[in-house]
Amino acid sequence: MNIEFTARRARIHIGVKELFEKKLEKLEKVLPPDVQAHVILRGENKGVSLEVTVVGRHRTWTATEAGVDQEAMAYDVLDRIEAQIRKTKAKVKEGKKRSPSVAKAGKRAAEEAEAEAEAPKSRPAAALRPEKVVARPTFEEDALHKFVKWNRDVMVYRDPSDETFRVLYRRRDGTIGLLIPT
């Protein structure tokens, strides 16, 4: 890992440099190999501010701290950076757990096709796939424009004047219908 130190109107204590090198070396196990870190120490009117930016392949982690004691600020900033990195790593792991691999997805699709072929055709398959929608307040003209633009078969919206739900649907002959529940 490449660590770059910059001091503006202040000096970085040697112990703080060693602390950054030691802690970031430990984090290097979790990070991709081509990560760069930039440590900026700025001297201000009543103390100093410390900013650390760690740049990875797809993500940038940043933490800032202001105060007087450089070592205490370094510990705080490094703890925040470590927490951000671990959170990102956990999200990536969770995403990989949830999304099936291409091979598994192909097998699952083949199994579903076989099950559909063997299952009796009592109901149409389209009725078995629920879809969650948000009924946003929209005027009728705007809803009609969106409905035609999106080329959908059904659209649910709320009329802003009386907050009732309305349903636009496309009939089999291609005309558009409007349902107003009472």
Query: Domain check: are 17 and 92 in the same one?
Result: yes
Does residue 167 fall inside a structural domain?
yes
Output 7 or 164, whichever has higher pLDDT.
7
Does residue 176 fall inside a structural domain?
yes
What distance, in Å, lies between the first and last C-alpha atoms of the chain? 66
Mean pLDDT in residue range 138-156: 84
CB atoms within 10 A of CB 2: 10
Beta bridge pairs of residue 65: 50
Output 5 or 116, whichever has higher pLDDT.
5
How many folded domains does the chain comprise? 2
Q: What is the pLDDT of residue 120?
A: 53
Q: What is the identity of the amino acid at 37?
A: A
d(CA 72, CA 95): 35
Query: Domain check: are 81 and 138 in the same one?
Result: no
Per the listing, tokens 């739900």 go with: 165
Q: What is the pLDDT of residue 58?
A: 83
**Residue-number span of the structural domain to which 132 is assigned:** 127-182
In degrees, rounded to 5, the angle at the alpha carbon of residue 154 between the alpha carbons of residues 152 and 158 is: 120
**Structure token digits, residue 122:** 């009592």
Query: Domain check: are 63 and 136 in the same one?
Result: no
Mean pLDDT in residue range 129-156: 81
Query: Domain check: are 77 and 30 in the same one?
Result: yes
Convert the pLDDT of each residue in 56-69 to its tens digit: 888 899 999 999 99
**Least reliable range by pLDDT among 3-7, 111-115, 123-127:** 123-127
Query: Domain check: are 89 and 20 in the same one?
Result: yes
Query: Domain check: are 92 and 11 in the same one?
Result: yes
Query: Domain check: are 28 and 94 in the same one?
Result: yes
Query: Domain check: are 135 and 180 in the same one?
Result: yes
d(CA 52, CA 37): 7
Does residue 132 fall inside a structural domain?
yes
Does residue 105 fall inside a structural domain?
no
Q: What is the pLDDT of residue 71?
A: 92
Would you say 174 and 142 are in contact if contact means Cβ atoms under 8 Å apart? no
